[in-house]
Amino acid sequence: MKLVTPQTTPINGQSIRIEGISKTFSSHGGTMLAVDDVALSVRPGEFLAIVGPSGCGKSTLLQIIAGLIPPTSGRVFLGDKDVTAQPAHMVYLFQQYSKSLLPWMNVEENVMFSFTHREQLSKSAARDRCHEYLQMVGLTAFHSYFPWQLSGGMQQRVAIARALAAEPHALLLDEPFSSVDALTRLDLHALMLDLWTQKRFTAVLVTHDVDEAVFLADRVAVLSHRPGRIVDIVDAGMPRPRLPVTTHQDPRFIAVRNQLLARLLTKPDAADVPAV
């Protein structure tokens, strides 16, 4: 796998800014506050991670950013443009890759599904683009396979290739590595970082895996228990390129990770007590 240093590649991503995002769901006759007044700013080409306990509203927040669900209040900006509640040129990478890949399309058709409707490309140009991204995830040979003929890890790589082939200004990742085995996950981490250094899109990753967040991201935002609100933003800033073995053993990595874990393990009623 070739490693490109971030400095050499121009930044393609745009900034994301969210202001005062809240989301209330009505269910069972009552209302429930899932996300509470979240403000966040992601720099162009930055890799930001959001960690938080289960059910704290991470997916909800990310889907609001993606424009897939409208917020109850607040605004989402991509660059200078207000894109609240509209799917702008951001791509949401689903945790459930097996449901997100369309079983009636083969790998190639699935990848093309992400861009051919936006851009007037000749058939061969579209295929070239498709194969460029399939090559990045190492699946060129499988272009005519159907999703159900691939392993889980391969399916997720197709989903990643498809998301990137759209050449979005921002990639929104909702625990995309949580349903593959540990070894495949490390593989996908390396792949994701490699793609990110090549393309320099803006990335927002939601996860409850603190190690994953520190390994991949520049900064890590911590969400509280439901209703989700930001309680901390930590500069992880591990030196790049990051390598599976050495980075995980770096004393700085361990320190940041412990700090985040302590923050996350703080009980909701003790939230105002400073973390140890």
Partner 1 sequence: MSLPFKRVIQILPGIAFIAALLLPLELATRWNLVNRVFIPAPSAVFATTYDIIITGQVFAPLLTTLSLLAGGYAIGCLAAISFGILMGNYRRVYNLFEPLIELLRPIPKAALLPVMILFLGLGPAMKLTTVGLATFFPVLINTVQGVRAVDPVMINTARTFGHSGAAILWRILLPATAPYILAGMRISLSISLIVVIIAEMISANGGLGDVIVYGQRMFLVVESYAWLVIVAALGFALNFWFRWVERRTTFWVSPSNQ
- Exactly one of 40, 58, 94, 160 binds partner 1 (CB under 8 A); that residue is 94
CB of 120 to ligand ATP, least distance (A): 37
| Separation of alpha carbons 102 and 97, rounded Å | 10
Is residue 15 within 8 Å of 28, Cβ to Cβ?
no
22 binds ligand ATP (CB under 6 A): no
Is residue 95 within 8 Å of 173, Cβ to Cβ?
no
Range 66-85, binding partner 1 (CB under 8 A): 66-68
Tokens of 28: 């069972």
Tokens of 176: 């995309």
CB of 101 to partner 1, least distance (A): 8
99 binds partner 1 (CB under 8 A): yes
Classify burial at 243, counting beta carbons within 10 Å of its beta carbon; exposed 0-12, middle 13-18, buried 19 or more.
Answer: middle
Cα separation values, 57 from 22, 45, 50, 241, 269, Å: 10, 24, 11, 31, 18
Query: Among residues 108 and 174, whose Cβ is nearest to Mg ion?
Result: 174
Query: Among residues 68 and 186, whose Cβ is nearest to partner 1?
Result: 68
Strand partners, 222: 51, 232
Is residue 169 within 8 Å of 12, Cβ to Cβ?
yes
244 binds ligand ATP (CB under 6 A): no
- Exactly one of 14, 22, 59, 114 binds partner 1 (CB under 8 A); that residue is 114
121 binds partner 1 (CB under 8 A): no
Query: Among residues 60 and 197, whose Cβ is nearest to ligand ATP?
Result: 60
115 binds partner 1 (CB under 8 A): yes
Q: Which stretch binds ligand ATP (CB under 6 A): 51-59, 107-115, 213-221, 252-260?
A: 51-59
CB of 159 to ligand ATP, least distance (A): 17
Length of the chain measured in residues: 276
Is residue 126 within 8 Å of 116, Cβ to Cβ?
yes
Chain residues that interact with Mg ion, rule: CB under 5 A: 59
| Backbone φ and ψ of 211, nearest 5° | -60, -45
Helices (H), 31-106: 58-66, 97-100
27 binds ligand ATP (CB under 6 A): yes
| Separation of alpha carbons 163 and 136, rounded Å | 12
Is residue 114 within 8 Å of 162, Cβ to Cβ?
yes
CB of 88 to partner 1, least distance (A): 8
96 binds partner 1 (CB under 8 A): yes
CB of 134 to ligand ATP, least distance (A): 29
Query: Among residues 42 and 56, whose Cβ is nearest to ligand ATP?
Result: 56
Residues making contact with ligand ATP (CB under 6 A): 25, 27, 34, 52, 54-60, 208, 226
Residues making contact with partner 1 (CB under 8 A): 63, 66-68, 87, 89-92, 94, 96, 99-100, 102-104, 113-115, 117-118, 146, 148-149, 166
